[in-house]
Amino acid sequence: MKVTTFDRKKWGLFTFEKIGYDRSSQLLIVFYLDGSMLEICPIEEHKIFELLLSTDKETLIHEHFQIKYPSFVHEKRTFLLA
């Protein structure tokens, strides 16, 4: 999986700065700043290029990708040490 880190200030991002995409499984993962992860699969590679070039990445993910493609959110997990 290739991971891309965006400059949050340049792109106006408030909820994430990293995404990962695996071409063979068509899996997109959005790594949120709160520790949760969004998986979208399957999603075509040309949609990832659309995301990379988009000036409103957060809206594209939440209002388009999550609606059109199967997705799952992995909530942040905390572990207690004994």
Q: How many Å apart are CA 22 and CA 19, to the nearest integer? A: 10
Counted domains in the chain: 1
pTM for the model: 0.89
pLDDT at residue number 80:
59
Q: For the CA atoms of the chain, what is the radius of gyration?
A: 13
For 37-62, b where at least 16 C-beta lie within 10 A, e where not — what string?
bbbbeebeeebbeebeeeeebeebbe
Please give the chain's pLDDT, 82 residues, in tens. 999 999 999 999 999 999 999 999 999 999 999 999 999 999 999 999 999 999 999 999 999 999 999 999 998 766 556 5
Q: Is residue 81 part of a domain?
A: no
Q: How many Å apart are CA 74 and CA 72, to the nearest integer? A: 7
Structural domain that includes position 60 = 2-74
Q: What is the pLDDT of residues 64-80, one digit of tens each?
A: 999 999 999 998 766 55
Q: Is residue 80 part of a domain?
A: no
